[in-house]
Structure 1
């Protein structure tokens, strides 16, 4: 596959390396001195954005190789997406789409604490407390447009990365969607991606806000590769060198091969899939139901993964009952929608949920008082699922989301060959072939991709 527009996606970066920065600068200087090369910073951004200085909230650069770069630069705010960042990144990606010298996009971030904490929830809360509802909606609109723009052009979601063909997790990576804990719902295209994870894993993550660490982010299919953070700088240089050698043509399998060179041997490092085996099967048993009440009942009746079921039920008991029922309906709605329609639905729900004050109560309790929130209604039994559907899903808003870019009509994720095999496929093959034969089958099918054997064994190991 030849990439003519910036579609190779994102590298999940969770740490910064000063030595690597110096190494990259040296490489940039060498390449920029070569006759006929484009300048290190594309003039497109000097003239259109004027946001390329190193202190900008999103630093936009284009390497002489043609590798375009976005660096999230709000480390003290966990790189949460602001109004300004939405504008900078959206304009950059739209400009890069038609720029001949832009072959690929690499997204990184500044700081060691977080790649991206999502939308700036504190800023939203401050606006709502000041009754600046329209500005609050405007920020959600910008964030939704950004997610659609990045997702339909080169990959975005869960921050800015999940649509990308390549997503690199490290030992420092943490993935979570805790929105039901603050009276909201998983957004930023979660309604598209979570129903498309294996089995009911996506619904489990949406409702519970369960944190996944690096290895499980990889095994679950949210990341395509697992690399140690100390190797990220060298990986970045290797991608620049690949872009320099291709003369304007990048093949996905070549990019994949470069990242594979830096990938961790999961078996050698003894990094199993913590949600495999009995836990995986318990997730599917308990979360296959289409009501929250039935999910809770199944968790209480779970007699195999007992401690997991109790922990999960405890998590659900802390969430907004309204958010749980809304998120459940969103999961099933998103399973049948294309990417852009998922974004439009999420934006509609956001407009309507902000007016319910559940979000204000959840953020107040989580960020200010650090106390248990007072949900309204306070119990699942008091939340009518039919009323949720009528109030939020069947009520169109007067200002639907207007996207900045055409596209995003895909209904299935187009880059599944780069993620590990799905648990359901592993179980199906093992039932037909046997345990050992299944391991060999998947090792051959995935060309001995690192992590394949460990995931297969973890899924089959009860």
Structure 2
């Protein structure tokens, strides 16, 4: 059986090595399962201490996706089979991996070709060089499956201008490469045809100097040669409208504005429709988590997300959302609460209550 994550060492002209990590689950758009997360965490940790490794290049197999998220179908099935510990084990390892990438002491290039969603967004967010290509599509569409933007999303999206992060959380809107660059979710645009050239240039480089500078020089060269091909940004076009809708004193007013939105723009209309048909419980949880996460550290965000994510799977709309969208594919989810106004305050409190009681948060030692 082919390994779902492949690890390669590329020798450089200066006697060093570039570590190449390939998510190799092409049929599932490189979605992450627990075994893949374990392998990734182990290899990142090992290469962190390996003096020969000067740079990490993270990519997805195939042309369709870097990573479409977590393997939520398997996670749902584990819970249905009676393994209520599965969500905690999955999310704890995923968040440890994401945090490790955010704090990694060596340059990390993430080649975000194709679909970058959910867990793929989490892997990419911590990389030093976050590359989008001509085919990149980025989104955090968790509201459609009864989750919310996790993998550090509470921290990352909160720092976007004009409350665009909240708009992304509520609408699952799709970002093209120009959107990702405009928001800083990506910091290099390189045509996908240059991928092999980038790897070859990393091998040919002299790594005897500052490794971040060497990596930057290589990546920037190809970014400069791709500059003319960047598409048009929908986020930039609609920034003021999004800001007006999201900058309200309460959540009901935001939803009211989305309901009242009249537009002939298909991108905006799709975003609006997702916001109004997604899980109301997830929407309320996402909004509350945004408020709570505004001024806390990344470490604290991952700790709070572990609470929420476990509760969403075991007590929220997750199982029904995954069933409707990805298992039965009837696209007719029966959400626990049809409207945000119907979500009881005590249910929201329950979602934010640690499922391990008085014990320490499993991520307290991040």
Q: TM-score range by the shorter chain?
A: 0.7 to 0.9
Q: Note if 1:143 corresponds to 2:94.
A: yes
Structure 2: unaligned runs, 5 residues or longer: 111-118
Secondary structure of 1:61's aligned partner:
strand
How many angstroms apart in 1 are the aligned matches of 2:221 and 2:364? 37
Change over 3 Å in CA distance of 1:402–1:153 after alignment to 2:
farther
How many angstroms apart in 2 are the aligned matches of 1:280 and 1:310? 15
How many angstroms apart in 1 are the aligned matches of 2:316 and 2:244? 34
- Per-residue CA deviation, residues 429-453 of structure 1 (Å, 9 max, x unaligned), is xxxxxxxxxxxxxxxxxxxxxxxxx
Quote the residue 1:190 is aligned against: 153
Structure 1: unaligned runs, 5 residues or longer: 1-53, 407-462
Quote the residue 2:115 is aligned against: none
How many angstroms apart in 2 are the aligned matches of 1:191 and 1:288? 17
How many angstroms apart in 1 are the aligned matches of 2:42 and 2:365? 11
How many angstroms apart in 2 are the aligned matches of 1:347 and 1:333? 14
After TM superposition, the structure 1 = structure 2 runs for residues 449-460 of structure 1, keeping only pairs within 5 Å, are none
Quote the residue 2:292 is aligned against: 333
Q: Note if 1:97 corresponds to 2:48.
A: yes
If the length of structure 1 is used for normalisation, what is the TM-score? 0.69
Secondary structure of 2:123's aligned partner:
coil
Q: Note if 1:246 corresponds to 2:207.
A: yes
Q: Note if 1:342 corresponds to 2:294.
A: no
Secondary structure of 1:275's aligned partner:
helix
* 8 Å contact kept, 2:302–2:363: no
Match of 2:136 among 173, 181, 187: 173
* 8 Å contact kept, 1:178–1:210: yes
Change over 3 Å in CA distance of 1:170–1:120 after alignment to 2:
same
Quote the residue 2:243 is aligned against: 284
How many angstroms apart in 2 are the aligned matches of 1:400 and 1:62? 38
* 8 Å contact kept, 2:122–2:153: no
How many angstroms apart in 2 are the aligned matches of 1:366 and 1:173? 22
How far residue 357 of structure 1 moved from its aligned partner, in angstroms, is 4.5
How many angstroms apart in 2 are the aligned matches of 1:331 and 1:69? 34
Q: Note if 1:255 corresponds to 2:215.
A: yes
Quote the residue 2:351 is aligned against: 392
How far residue 314 of structure 1 moved from its aligned partner, in angstroms, is 1.9
Q: Note if 1:296 corresponds to 2:247.
A: no
Please tell me whether Structure 1 or Structure 2 has the larger radius of gyration of its CA atoms. Answer: 1
How many angstroms apart in 2 are the aligned matches of 1:404 and 1:397? 13
Quote the residue 1:22 is aligned against: none
Q: Note if 1:206 corresponds to 2:166.
A: no
Quote the residue 1:62 is aligned against: 9
Change over 3 Å in CA distance of 1:162–1:78 after alignment to 2:
same
How many angstroms apart in 1 are the aligned matches of 2:338 and 2:352? 22
After TM superposition, the structure 1 = structure 2 runs for residues 44-443 of structure 1, keeping only pairs within 5 Å, are 55-64=2-11, 65-153=16-104, 158-242=121-205, 245-247=206-208, 249-252=210-213, 254-263=214-223, 268-269=228-229, 271-277=231-237, 279-300=238-259, 310-371=269-330, 372-384=332-344, 386-395=345-354, 397-398=356-357, 401-403=361-363, 406=366
How many angstroms apart in 1 are the aligned matches of 2:263 and 2:153? 29
How many angstroms apart in 1 are the aligned matches of 2:355 and 2:315? 16
How many angstroms apart in 2 are the aligned matches of 1:247 and 1:405? 34
How far residue 367 of structure 1 moved from its aligned partner, in angstroms, is 1.2
How far residue 249 of structure 1 moved from its aligned partner, in angstroms, is 3.1
- Per-residue CA deviation, residues 317-351 of structure 1 (Å, 9 max, x unaligned), is 11100000000111222221111111111111122
How far residue 404 of structure 1 moved from its aligned partner, in angstroms, is 10
* 8 Å contact kept, 1:71–1:107: yes
* 8 Å contact kept, 2:76–2:313: no
How many angstroms apart in 2 are the aligned matches of 1:226 and 1:295? 33
If the length of structure 2 is used for normalisation, what is the TM-score? 0.86
How many angstroms apart in 2 are the aligned matches of 1:241 and 1:289? 53
Change over 3 Å in CA distance of 1:290–1:373 after alignment to 2:
farther
How far residue 311 of structure 1 moved from its aligned partner, in angstroms, is 4.4
How many angstroms apart in 1 are the aligned matches of 2:86 and 2:230? 49
Quote the residue 1:424 is aligned against: none
How many angstroms apart in 2 are the aligned matches of 1:357 and 1:299? 24
* 8 Å contact kept, 1:195–1:334: yes
* 8 Å contact kept, 1:182–1:362: yes
For the aligned residues, what is the CA RMSD? 2.6
